[in-house]
Structure formats: structure tokens, C-alpha cells
Amino acid sequence: MDQAAIAAFAGFGLLLFWVAQRLNRLSNWLAGYPLLVWLKPLLHRLKVMLIGPESTQDSQNFVDALRIWHPLIALKSPTPRTVKAFVNRLRYMASRGDFAAEAHHEAQMVALVTIDYCYENNVDEVLALMAQYLAEESGSPKTQFEARWPDLASTLSLHVQAFGAYPSAQDIAFYQVMNADICIHRQE
């Protein structure tokens, strides 16, 4: 390679870096304008196309929640391949929301996605009974919930010990909105 080609390649690399930085600033600026927030994913896609994906790590809340819910996930489908696919689904769902406002919102998302995955055939019933269970800290909903889904009841108990709260009605509504346009194709 001659000097001119090396200089051109280095210049192109610097240009890409400069564009990526400007896209980050523009994306952060858009957060303050609700009517323009729809542009943020487009800018992110453009940045990924130009410089490739960013390497990220799971948040501590995500890791802690996953540690609590993993036994229930493994009961549903114990093969490493399906567990990995499910964890990637969790990461995708977590990446779709902005969890900066509420510290444990990401952990609540892990709980709800796992409940949906493990109890997919009757998830609406589980969530409805869970809402009754949470509203009346004693009585028949609690007994019925624990009798029908003992593994879920014990995992929810661990979740509350770690994060201080059950998934709230707002968490459930947020999850349902986030999950409304997602279709997962499983080979079983």
C-alpha cells in the first residue's frame, strides 16, 4: 500500500468516527423532543451501518434478575440453545425501553418476559391472578396463586426480596405495549 492509500484510509476512518459522534449527540438531543423521538432508532441504525454494533454489557439489575428467574426458564426448556435464545430475547426487550428513570424497571421486565415465556398458554390468567394476589396480600387469590403456580410464587418472592417490589400494573402495561408487535417463531 502506498502512502496516499494509507492516508485516505485513515481519513475515512476519522470521518466515520466524527459522524458517529455527531449521531450520538443528535440522538441525545432528540430525547428532549417527544415529537422527534421516532428518529432515534433510525440514527442508531445508521450508526451501526457505518461503524458496526457497539459492544455492551448487561446491567447489574439485568444480571441479578436473570439469576433469580433462570431456574424457572430452565424448567421450561433446559437446553443451552433455547436458554441462550431466550436470554437474547430478554436483552432485546430490555434494549427497547429506557430504564434510566426507574432503577428496577429492567428487573421487572425480566420477570414479565419470563412469566410470558414460561406460562405462555395462560399468561393473561397468570397476570390477572397476580394482580389480585398483589392487591390483597392475603386471602383466596394468594392461596389460589400459590397452589396453581408454586414455582412462580417462590420465584416472585425471591424477586421481591432482591428488588423490593412485584411488577406493578404500570410495568405490566408497559410490557404489553412493548410486546405487542413482537412475534417469536420457535421450533419445537
How many H helices and E strands in the chain?
Answer: 9, 0
For the chain, percent of residues with pLDDT exceeding 70:
77
Quickly count: other Cβ atoms within 10 Å of residue 113's Cβ.
22
Tens-digit pLDDT profile for residues 14-29? 776 776 677 667 766 7
User: Any idea which of 37-41, 50-54, 183-187 has the lowest mean pLDDT?
Assistant: 183-187
**Cell 428496577 -> residue:** 104
- Can you tell me the distance from the alpha carbon of 25 to that of 8, in angstroms, rounded to the nearest whole number? 26
- Can you tell me the distance from the alpha carbon of 128 to that of 165, in angstroms, rounded to the nearest whole number? 17
pTM comes to 0.67
> Which of 20, 18, 40, 43 lies closest to 30, judged by CA?
40
130 against 107, higher pLDDT? 107
